[in-house]
Amino acid sequence: MIDLIRKLTEAWGPSGYEHQVRELIRAEVKPFADKIEVDPLGSLLCRVGKGGKGKKTIMIAAHMDEIGIMATFQEPKSGYLRFSAIGGLLYTTLHGSRVRFEDGTIGVVAAPEPFGAARTTAPDLDSFFVDVSDGGDTSRVKAGSPAGFWRPFEQRGTRLIAKSMDDRIGCAIAIEAMRRLNGKTPHEVCFAFTVQEEVGLRGARPAAHGIDPDVAVSLDVTQTGDEVKGERHDVRLGGGAAIKIMDTGHVVPPHIRDWMIGAAEAADIPYQREILTLGTTDSAGIQVARSGVPSGCISIPCRFVHTTSETVDSRDVEACVQLLVKLLSEPLSFS
């Protein structure tokens, strides 16, 4: 999976501009999907298996987008770009970060007086700017141009480090599960690679409305509690798949929780229980589609979320793939 993870995490695709990532995923899943379509908002919907009497429809969601910025104004003298956020930026990580615009232009984000007050306290977002100068008198980047953060994928032992593990690692897990299933599932499964999660779960809601699933599972990263002076969060790298119990937008129904935990224990798949006190996933939007969809989440433990060095462990990734395949390979343990 390493080559796939590298390809996906290095791809360009801030929220609302996921088209490049979508085409990469389309090419990967084409041999394993019975039907592929793109919904009106841009989510890629890939159906495996066929519905019928007594069959359940299961939705698997992983979002394609990543956080980024949008150029809003170019300073007339310096040519520096002012910008707004696409998604939840961490201001303390911005100074010196690189961004890439769709045409390939690389910019460097900077704060004024980095060795002054900005050395210890992050300024407001409107104080930052992006340097896209090339030594000439003009800039190809205009107001309204989106950019994603740029950093190449790296591997350090079992640690995988990239700028958009959130949530390209979820996409990679979904693709690998499709490969391993190879169409063998007692359900109709719709793998939804969704858009605009980072700006408010905007793609998952209409995707779920159109799919009308009986059950849904999202795939997304979660914070770890194993950093120095980290929060009291009982999830760690290398501890296995994290099965969500609750987050700020989603309380997992007990029968969905038990279904997922039971599958992990039956197959001896390492797992952890996740209770996230800040943030949520596509499942929060899916659960309120139509008349309601019982939803769960397989979370991938991740350090340094919303930075250019989001870090996961390959052993956890494998556990997540195994758990997803197990869930989709057998009849549901509940009616």
Identify the CA nearest to 17 among candidates 41, 48, 1, 52. Answer: 41
Name the active-site residue from 28, 176, 197, 310.
197
The reply to whether omega before 212 is within 30° of 0 (cis) is no
Residue 216's alpha-carbon distances to 17, 156, 190, 211, 283, in angstroms, are 25, 33, 9, 10, 7
Q: Are 100 and 147 in contact (CB under 8 A)?
A: yes
Between CA 332 and CA 174 the distance in angstroms is 19
Beta bridge partners of 146: 70
Rounded CA-CA distance 105/147 in Å is 9
Give the span between the Cα atoms of 218 and 287, in whole angstroms: 11
The Cα 148–Cα 7 span in angstroms is 15
Compute, in degrees rounded to 10, the torsion defined by CA atoms 13, 5, 238, 319.
110
Does residue 197 carry a catalytic annotation?
A: yes
Active site residues: 197
